[in-house]
């Protein structure tokens, strides 16, 4: 195994090396997890912490991109559930001194329901067997040892000081595929992420054992399907730090989520009101607002970015005014990787009385998110960008923002009473979920968020930070390669161009070597045009990528550059 890029030993106990569990082992683990979950819902034992804390070694780098060098250790308390800390974002010292509410919300308690319909599904989440499953223990943590590995010595992969990357990769069946006879290296994570076996199993189990429509059913399968669907809603609420599951609305994805918010806010807009975006936005966070502006007479304003790809905060501050009714901004750019200081920008907007939407499509899979700390009214993301299925996403809709907002679509499931004279709507979130929802994929998304939480978003952020610095160094060393976007804070997006070579041509050549990268405008034409380009090649990272894959990628790009 390649050890040339090994990091110092993890200061925390490493995950236990696990063997294939027997059916009896899986049954015992399922029984334990389900018993604890039900007990936690009734408040009889401390609930499982959502994620393992860590303090990774600082990673020094002279490269022009930057993400937090150290993720602070977050202590567990036996008296309260663990709430992940927000990933710190370095801000320019000249930034305006606005802030948003900083109170961290407690985790949302699961509803006291009969979880028997979920038992087999939990038992089948075998993709988590090798991960830390910390339990509250004397005010600290202790791993939940696997029955078949109780006496095994802790080990860690030589490719990561943060978690066992080899074991994690084995959770993703598609990573064993070959393309054109070469091992698949998936570097298209900003477009979609791959799915762990836990997610595949959760969806399969639902269709094999619990398939039914939800709500109002008088039979067992309807109750089990409803429990599983609503449990996923609670999982999303916990994942985002919401106050309750009634603040979570399921949608088809981030695009539909933004359209939902745009359409329910539109009736409150008048001619001359302003909607403020940034130059970084994905088309899905531009076009819906253009449509609303055309319909209402509102005006779109755009905060510019600088030549690194950072939002110019002074310009943003000047654009805010009493006319600003809506601010809609990305948490992280899909084309450049820029991490946007959304907490600061939300505080500035709220001080002007604006409502704030944050597009979290490129953030939730990379670092912890706490919507209450951010202070936004709406936060949207897609399941398929966070290792879940396509066709499902969620909108966090703050309780205080729900008041007086009309529904967007009409139909079943979102009503209390209907006559030909009038309709009485359900309370949120049902009010915003007309028709039969995507039940199976909502359950699959819940399984994906559970997987990410068990792995630990602090660990993920630290590992991907190190990968990004390494990849940036390898790519910028290639003669002629121009990296597009060198913001101070970035997720693992590396857009680049090679002189005289069409990005599509580069992407096609890389595909022949087994690399999946995106080539084109990435549905973010304004941000690329700021840099004078119409398209780029865009490798993008996730926690299952490795240094060895980055080396292969850099060597392949170098070969393409030399041939041309």
- Rg of the Cα trace of the chain? 23
Q: Find tokens 């034409």 and name the residue.
A: 525
* pLDDT of 64 higher than 80: no
Average pLDDT over residues 199-227: 93
427 burial type by CB count under 10 A (0-12 exposed, 13-18 middle, 19+ buried): exposed
**DSSP type of residue 236:** H
Percent of the chain with pLDDT over 90: 67
Packing angle between helix 457-476 and helix 439-455, nearest 10 degrees?
A: 80
Q: In terms of residue numbers, what domain contains 327?
A: 232-450
Over residues 13-27, the mean pLDDT reads 39
The model's confidence at residue 304, banded by pLDDT at 50, 70 and 90, is: very high
pLDDT band at residue 564, thresholds of 50, 70 and 90?
A: low
Phi/psi of residue 9, nearest 5 degrees: -60, 145
Q: Which of 523, 533, 548, 561 is catalytic?
A: 523
Q: Among all chains, which residue has been given the structure tokens 């067997």?
A: 129
The answer to whether residue 413 is domain-embedded is yes
pTM of the prediction?
Answer: 0.74
Hey, CA dihedral for 544, 490, 6, 155, is it positive or negative?
Answer: negative
- Residue 108: count of CB within 10 angstroms of its CB: 23
363 burial via Cβ count (<10 Å: 0-12, 13-18, 19+): buried
pLDDT at 60 over 50: no
Residue 155, pLDDT > 80, answer no
Least confident of 109-123, 172-186, 283-297, 409-423: 109-123
- Taking residues 210-234, what's their average pLDDT? 93
> Tokens 């993720």 map to which residue?
71
Q: Which of 182-191, 358-367, 383-392, 402-411 has the lowest mean pLDDT?
A: 402-411
pLDDT at 290 over 80: yes
Q: Please give the average per-residue pLDDT across 374-379, as a whole number.
A: 98
In the numeric block, which tokens belong to residue 265?
Answer: 């806010």
What's the confidence (pLDDT) of residue 52? 41
Bridge pairing between strands 182-183 and 178-179: antiparallel
Q: Which of 101-115, 395-409, 415-429, 483-497 has the highest mean pLDDT?
A: 483-497
| pLDDT beyond 70 at 381 | yes
Residue 407 pLDDT greater than 60, yes or no: yes
Q: How far is CA 54 from CA 74, 102, 243, 473, 499, in A?
A: 7, 22, 25, 26, 42
Q: Which residue has the tokens 């950072």?
A: 310
Q: Output b/e per residue, 48-85; b: 16+ Cβ within 10 A.
A: bbbbbbbebbebebeeebbbbbebeebebeeeebbbbb
Q: What Å distances lie between residue 461 and 196, 205, 290, 329, CA to CA?
A: 19, 31, 34, 21
**347 falls within a domain:** yes
CB 451 within 8 A of CB 198: yes
End-to-end CA distance of the chain: give it in Å, rounded: 33
Domain membership flag for residue 69: no
Q: Flag whether 445 is in a domain.
A: yes
**369 is a domain residue:** yes
| Rounded Cα gap, residues 92 and 384, in angstroms | 33
DSSP for 256-288, please give it.
Answer: HHHHHHHHHHGGG--TT-EEEEETT--GGGTHH
SS3 annotation, 45-83: CCCCCCCCCCCCCCCCCCCCCCCCCCCCCCCCECCECCC
Phi, psi of 462 (to 5 degrees): -65, -45
The stretch 414-419 carries a mean pLDDT of 90
CB contact at 8 A, 441 and 388: yes
80 inside domain:
no
Q: Which among 23-27, 109-113, 290-294, 421-425 has the top mean pLDDT? A: 290-294
Arithmetic mean of pLDDT, 209-218: 89
What value does the mean pLDDT take over residues 261-274? Answer: 97
Q: CATH number for the domain including 435?
A: 3.40.640.10
Distance of CA 56 to the CA centre of its chain: 21
Active site residue 523: yes
Identify the helix (H) or strand (E) that includes residue 359. strand 355-359
pLDDT at res. 217 = 75
What is the C-alpha separation between 438 and 386, in angstroms, rounded? 17
What tokens appear for 209 in the block?
């054992």
Q: Tokens 């501050």 — which residue?
A: 317
- Phi, psi dihedrals of residue 324, rounded to the nearest 5°: -75, 110
Give how many domains the chain has, as a whole number. 1
């Amino acid at each position: 195994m390649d050890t040339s890029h090994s990091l110092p030993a993890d200061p925390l106990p490493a995950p236990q090396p696990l063997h294939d569990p027997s059916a009896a082992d899986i049954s015992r683990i399922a029984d334990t997890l389900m018993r604890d979950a039900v007990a936690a819902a009734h408040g009889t034992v401390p609930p499982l912490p959502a994620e393992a804390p860590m303090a990774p070694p600082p990673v020094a780098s002279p490269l022009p991109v930057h993400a937090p060098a150290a993720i602070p250790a977050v202590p567990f308390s036996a008296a309260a559930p663990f709430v992940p800390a927000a990933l710190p974002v370095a801000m320019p010292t000249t930034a305006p001194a606005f802030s948003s509410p900083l109170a961290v919300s407690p985790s949302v308690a699961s509803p006291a329901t009969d979880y028997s319909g979920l038992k087999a599904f939990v038992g089948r989440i075998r993709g988590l067997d090798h991960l830390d499953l910390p339990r509250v223990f004397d005010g600290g943590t202790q791993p939940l040892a696997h029955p078949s590995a109780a006496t095994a010595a802790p080990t860690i992969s030589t490719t990561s000081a943060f978690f066992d990357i080899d074991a994690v990769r084995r959770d993703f069946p598609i990573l064993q595929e070959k393309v054109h006879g070469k091992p698949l290296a998936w570097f298209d994570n900003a477009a979609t992420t791959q799915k762990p076996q836990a997610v595949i199993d959760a969806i399969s189990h639902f269709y094999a054992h619990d398939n039914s429509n939800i709500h109002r059913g008088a039979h067992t399968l309807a109750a089990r399907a409803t429990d599983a669907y609503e449990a996923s809603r609670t999982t999303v609420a916990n994942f985002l730090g919401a106050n309750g599951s009634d603040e979570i609305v399921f949608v088809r994805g981030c695009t539909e989520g933004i359209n939902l918010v745009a359409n329910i806010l539109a009736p409150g807009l008048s001619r001359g009101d302003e909607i403020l975006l940034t130059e970084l936005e994905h088309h899905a966070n531009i076009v819906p607002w253009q449509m609303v502006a055309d319909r209402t007479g509102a005006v779109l304003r755009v905060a510019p970015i600088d030549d690194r790809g950072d939002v110019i905060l002074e310009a943003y501050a000047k654009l805010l005014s009493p006319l600003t009714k809506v601010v809609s901004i990305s948490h992280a750019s899909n084309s450049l990787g820029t991490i946007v200081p959304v907490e600061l920008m939300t505080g500035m907007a709220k001080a002007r009385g604006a409502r704030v939407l944050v597009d979290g499509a490129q953030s939730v899979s990379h670092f912890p998110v706490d919507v209450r700390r951010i202070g936004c009214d709406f936060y949207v993301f897609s399941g398929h960008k966070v290792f879940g299925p396509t066709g499902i996403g969620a909108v966090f809709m703050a309780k205080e923002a729900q008041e007086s907002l009309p529904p967007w679509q009409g139909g079943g499931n979102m009503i209390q009473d209907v006559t030909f004279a009038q309709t009485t709507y359900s309370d949120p979130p049902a009010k915003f979920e007309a028709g039969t929802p995507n039940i199976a994929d909502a359950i699959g998304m819940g399984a994906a968020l559970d997987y990410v939480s068990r792995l630990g978003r602090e660990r993920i952020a630290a590992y991907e930070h190190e990968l990004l610095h390494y990849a940036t160094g390898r790519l910028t060393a290639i003669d002629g390669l121009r990296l597009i976007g060198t913001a101070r804070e970035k997720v693992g997006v590396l857009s680049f161009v090679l002189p005289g070579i069409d990005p599509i041509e580069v992407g096609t050549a890389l595909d022949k070597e087994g690399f999946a990268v995106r080539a084109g405008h990435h549905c973010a034409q304004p941000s690329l045009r700021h840099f004078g380009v119409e398209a780029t090649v865009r490798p993008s990272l996730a926690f299952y990528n490795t240094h060895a894959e980055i080396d292969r990628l850099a060597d392949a790009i170098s070969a393409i550059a030399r041939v041309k």
